[in-house]
Amino acid sequence: MQGTVDGFSYGLVTPLVAYLMACLGGALGLRCTTRALLVAHSWRPGWLALGSAAIGSGIWTMHFIAMMGFSVEEAPIHYDKATTYASLGVAIVMVGIGIFIVGYKGASGTALFTGGTITGLGVASMHYLGMAGMRLNGKLEYNTFTVAASVVIAMAAATAALWAAGQVRGLMWSVGASLVMGLAVSGMHYMGMAGLSVHLHAAPGSTSGDSPAALLAPMLIGPLAFLCLAGVVVMFDPLMIMGKPDWAPAEHKPGVPAHPAVEHTGRRAPLRSRRDEAQRRSRTPQGR
């Protein structure tokens, strides 16, 4: 017996709110990734870790807000908390691996492809592991084509977003990238859901039970609070409006050593060496 699936129990409310959460997580995560490319190596892991957690929390929150609008008419839905939170962990870890690759290897070439692929697979893994945490009197069945299409969308979106983060072109560039990423992540979610059908077991019994919103709302408190905290950190960062990087030559003042993360290469170092040598010779008495 096929169940009657409704993915929009609250109309457009859940898709719109879910999209906004995906954009928020993407904006914070990409902002942190961009910021990591502008700081010394000692600070880079912290910004990349914050960006990974922000993107992972954002897409996880987006998924389960969207799932608040998902229902099966003939069967109540419950969620296994262990599997649900495991999907959050998978999202953060896999997104983190991809972001760290790009953060240290650069947003181009093989590093970008590898980082984007792993990040996209993290988004898809979060989605389908979260779906595996659903408990109802039936079996979830997926269309192979739509599942494959949703994974491709996730990988393409992640690669494009990481490429945009590596361009370092300003706040509006990051905002635009986050809007695109939010659209792609939401599209991936609803593409996967479009290929879902529910085969109910015989004698479903009572259909009474808590609504998906009542079940999921308490689980969302933690990730939502984290996103707010991450937003505060990004907002109060002094270089939020893409100021000059910590190692910018324009910020080096006479008498102040350059940042230790910067290697003095090119013409500047030899010129300084010749000048110092000339000063040393001028202070040395003739004939000595």
Of 158, 182, 87, the closest CA to residue 127 belongs to 87
Q: Quick one: pLDDT band at residue 67, thresholds 50, 70, 90?
A: very high
Q: What is the predicted pLDDT for the residue at 268?
A: 41
Percentage of the chain exceeding pLDDT 90? 25
Pairwise CA distance, residues 183 & 280, whole Å: 63
Question: Is it the case that residue 180 has pLDDT exceeding 70?
Answer: yes
Secondary element (H or E) of residue 72: strand 71-72
Higher pLDDT, 215 or 265: 215
Contact 54, 165 (CB under 8 A): no
DSSP 206-251: ------HHHHHHHHHHHHHHHHHHHHHHHHT-TTTT----TT-GGG
Mean pLDDT of the chain: 78
Mean pLDDT score, 8-22: 90
pTM score of the predicted model: 0.75
Contact 36, 44 (CB under 8 A): yes
Question: Is it the case that residue 26 has pLDDT exceeding 50?
Answer: yes
pLDDT digits (tens, 9 = 90+) for 229-288: 887 777 766 555 444 444 444 444 443 344 444 343 444 444 445 555 556 566 555 544
Lowest-confidence pick of 132-136, 183-187, 241-245: 241-245
Distance of CA 216 to the CA centre of its chain: 21
